[in-house]
Every structure is written in structure tokens, then in C-alpha cells.
Amino acid sequence: MYKRQPNTLDLSEATDDAGNDNPSCDSSGNYGVWYTWTATTNGLAFTSGTSSPGFAVYEAGSCGSLVKVGCLNNASGTITGLTISNDYIFYIWDDTAGTSVTFCLEEYTNIPLANDDCSGAIALSPGNVFADYAVDGSVEDATLGSETADCGSNGAGVWYSVVVPDDGEISIETGADAATSDTGFDSVIEAFSGSCGSLVSIDCDDDGASTGSFSLLELTGLTPGDTIYIRVWEYGGNAIEPFSISAHNTSIVITTTWTGGTDTDWATAGNWSNGVPTSETAVTIPSSLTNYPTATAAVSTTSVAMASGTSLIAESTFAGSITYNRNLASTNWYLVSSPVVGETMDDMIANHTFATGTAPNIGIAPYLNDGSAWDLSLIHI
């Protein structure tokens, strides 16, 4: 066999093999040649060169009824799941007659991925939107065991799991990976209930997402607290581009707590229990800390709950409701200033709950730091 060097293959005399073990991953006319090989490793790595030849591997058998192990449609990649000492047949082709192609074919030792099987499924954290807790993944080195597919063309895949939220709804979606933003992955995803070894298909999707050839399952009517399993593979199993996968539900409220573990910078992940807040995050700022947040850039959150004695400095725009709790030691009179700059007395009365005196009355006394006298107002409500 060919190994560790580029090879040039003259296909000028090759004929079209359409209808005679034509590779399932390429419906075009195929002008190629056949080889036999006894496996000395459990995988092969194929690098497609000039003219982008294709590569397919079959179990040894009778021509016309060969069983495919893997197929790369005019692309580079790996084919795994081979058994050492078994005989195989492989086919190298081009879609155009009379060409000469280059390629590199190497022995490849496949180390199975941790989530190659259901038992190693990676747990997804449900977010409010796709980007909240998306996880990058790849089917490179994945193997195809006994898994079948309820949609699309089957291929070697990887497994994920997620716990169903309280409303019994969850969306599972694939997209471009964060590391490279590659949109070339043609994903298929299938969701299952039950447990590994006795799974029941819930739904399956090929290209339901709004971008590229990515997939989207919008699952409803599930049992809250149940774990569902998700298998992801590439349509036909003939490419290994990276992808990202996410579980999300717009009813989920993401929470994070300020720890101040690094410094006072709002935008530093190390200062938060669950990452820097986004527009879908509910924030808690607890008391008895050394560092409290300063936001130098614009911020948007769903809400901020501040414990008594805490502080928050916003040096730019800040969108989201803020609840500032104060613990007062007795029923005596206290001087309490507005927690935000520019708040009027009318706003304070309308948006806050004050202790009242007789009648009932609220005593409000505006005070300026320039030394002006108190201007006590007794307001009847």
C-alpha cells in the first residue's frame, strides 16, 4: 500500500464504475481503480491532492455486493473501525475521465473519542440561547458501531446528553465551532430517551438549522428532569469538519454570582461564579466581599440583585433591573440616598417601598453636598 509520501495515479484508462459498487458518498460518474489490502492498523488517513480524488474502503467480498466501511467524497479525512489482519478493498477515483490525481495514504491508529459511545456522552448545560453554553466538537476518530439512523445518511458519530428543563422543552442545535468558525460540517442529529443500551428515538434532523447544513431539534412534551441522549454525525460519514452543539430554552434563566476573586473588573470571568453576565443573565452581588464590580463598558443583563452594603459602579450604560437591598437595624429614622445618579423624588416614591409614619406619611429631605440646608418635605400617600 501507499504510505507517508505523495502518490500520482494515472486514471486516463479508468472507466466509469457507476452502478458497480459506485461509492455511496459520491453520485457523480466515478473513474477509478481498485486495490486490496490486509490491515496492519485500525485506520487509514487519506489526503486528497490535485483533482481532489475520492477514497472508499470496503470489507473484502464479492464485487457488486461490497460492504462499505467508510467513504471520503473528494476530500481528505480518516476512515477508522478496521480490524487488524482482515482483508479490505479500497477504491480511488475522480469524477472526470482521463485525469491524473495525487494523494497521500497513510496507516492511522485510531484512538476512540471519549464520547464515541453513548456511555461516554458529554453533558450539555442548557442555556437561554445557542451561544450561552455551546460546546465545540468533532467526529474525527469517531467510529460507527451498531448505531442506526432515523434520518439522513448514517456515519460515525459522537454522543451528548442533557437534562430536560422544568417546562419539558429543549432545543438541540449544531452550528459553526467557536475555534475556527468553520461552517462546512453537514450535521445530522438524533435525540433519544431511555438509557444507554436501550435507547428510544425521539426525533431526528438533518438540515433544520437556519445556517449552513447544520441541524436543529425543537423537542416538547418531555418529562422534566429526564436525561436525553443526542448523537451527532456527518451526513454520509465522509468529512470531519469541526462543529459546535448547544442545548437551549428561552425560558431558562442563567444565573451568575459576583465573587470578586480576581479584581473589580465586571468583564473578567474570574470574578464570577458562572462567567461574565450576558443579556440573558440574572446577577447576584453578595455582601462581605473585598472587591465589588466596576463596569467600564456598556452592560446588559436581565436583573441585578445587590445585597445590603454592596456597591456597583457603572461607568457606561447599564440595561437591566437593579434591586438594591438595605438591612436597617431598627425602626428609627435613617438617611438613605438614591442608589443611582439622577433619580428624582417622584421616581423614588413610585418605584420603592418606604416605611411610613402616621397618617401615613413619608419624610423626604433632599440634601446636596455643597452645604445646602435640608429641605424636609412631608408627603402624604
Is residue 156 one of the residues assigned to a domain?
A: yes
Q: Model confidence over 15-39: pLDDT tens digits? A: 876 555 567 777 776 788 889 999 9
Q: Which residues pair with 218 in a beta bridge?
A: 171
Domain co-membership, 238 together with 274 = no
Is residue 2 one of the residues assigned to a domain?
A: no
Domain co-membership, 225 together with 196 = yes
Percentage of the chain modeled with pLDDT above 70? 86
Domain co-membership, 171 together with 67 = no
Alpha-carbon radius of gyration of the chain: 31
Domain co-membership, 241 together with 126 = yes
How many domains are contained in the chain? 4
User: End of a domain among 108, 134, 163?
Assistant: 108
Domain co-membership, 221 together with 270 = no
Q: Which residues pair with 194 in a beta bridge?
A: 199
Among residues 353, 348, 340, 352, the alpha carbon closest in space to that of 377 is found at 348
Q: What is the rounded CA–CA span in Å between residue 161 and residue 126?
A: 10
Q: Output the pLDDT for position 359.
A: 67
User: End of a domain among 73, 108, 143?
Assistant: 108
Whether residue 96 has pLDDT greater than 70: yes
Is residue 133 one of the residues assigned to a domain?
A: yes
Domain CATH for 131: 2.60.120.380
Give, in degrees to the nearest 5, the angle at Cα 248 between 245 and 252: 150
Among residues 177, 181, 239, 171, the alpha carbon closest in space to that of 205 is found at 171
Q: Give 74's pLDDT tier (boundaries 50, 70, 90).
A: confident
Is residue 377 one of the residues assigned to a domain?
A: yes
Q: What is the rounded CA–CA span in Å between residue 88 and residue 37?
A: 5
Q: What residues contact residue 57 under an 8 Å CB cut-off, 6+ apart?
A: 44, 68, 69, 70, 71, 79, 82, 88, 89, 90, 91
Q: What is the rounded CA–CA span in Å between residue 71 and residue 57?
A: 6
- The DSSP secondary-structure symbol of 42 reads S
Q: What is the rounded CA–CA span in Å between residue 174 and residue 31?
A: 35
Question: Residue type at 354?
Answer: F
User: End of a domain among 108, 139, 157?
Assistant: 108
Domain co-membership, 32 together with 60 = yes
Q: 3-state DSSP call for residue 89?
A: strand
In this prediction, residues 72-98 reach a mean pLDDT of 86
More confident residue, 367 or 243: 243
The mean predicted confidence, pLDDT, of the chain is 86
Q: What is the rounded CA–CA span in Å between residue 91 and residue 216?
A: 34
Q: Output the pLDDT for position 345.
A: 74
Domain co-membership, 291 together with 228 = no
Domain co-membership, 122 together with 183 = yes
Domain CATH for 75: 2.60.120
Is residue 209 one of the residues assigned to a domain?
A: yes
Is residue 213 one of the residues assigned to a domain?
A: yes
Q: Model confidence over 138-149: pLDDT tens digits? A: 998 888 878 889
Q: Give 373's pLDDT tier (boundaries 50, 70, 90).
A: low
> For the purposes of burial, counting CB atoms within 10 Å of the CB of 205, is it exposed (0-12), middle (13-18) or buried (19 or more)?
buried
- The DSSP secondary-structure symbol of 261 reads S
Domain co-membership, 271 together with 341 = no
Provide the domain limits for residue 307. 253-327
Is residue 1 one of the residues assigned to a domain?
A: no
Query: Could you give the C-alpha distances from 212 to 89, 144, 166, in angstroms and in order?
Result: 34, 24, 31
Is residue 18 one of the residues assigned to a domain?
A: yes
Q: For the ranges 43-52, 194-203, 263-272, 315-324, which has the lowest average pLDDT?
A: 43-52
Q: Output the pLDDT for position 2.
A: 38
Q: Output the pLDDT for position 29.
A: 64
Domain co-membership, 127 together with 213 = yes
Q: Give 49's pLDDT tier (boundaries 50, 70, 90).
A: confident
Domain co-membership, 214 together with 303 = no
Report the 3 state secondary structure along 307-372. CCCCCCEECCCEEEEEEECCCCCCCCCCCCCCCCCCCCHHHHHHHCCCCCCCCCEEEECCCCCCCC
Percentage of the chain modeled with pLDDT above 90? 45
Q: For the ranges 306-315, 328-337, 358-367, which has the lowest average pLDDT?
A: 358-367
Domain co-membership, 44 together with 17 = yes
Q: What is the rounded CA–CA span in Å between residue 42 and residue 233?
A: 20
More confident residue, 138 or 70: 138
Q: Model confidence over 154-175: pLDDT tens digits? A: 888 999 999 999 999 999 999 9
Handedness of CA 339, 344, 349, 354 (dihedral sign): positive
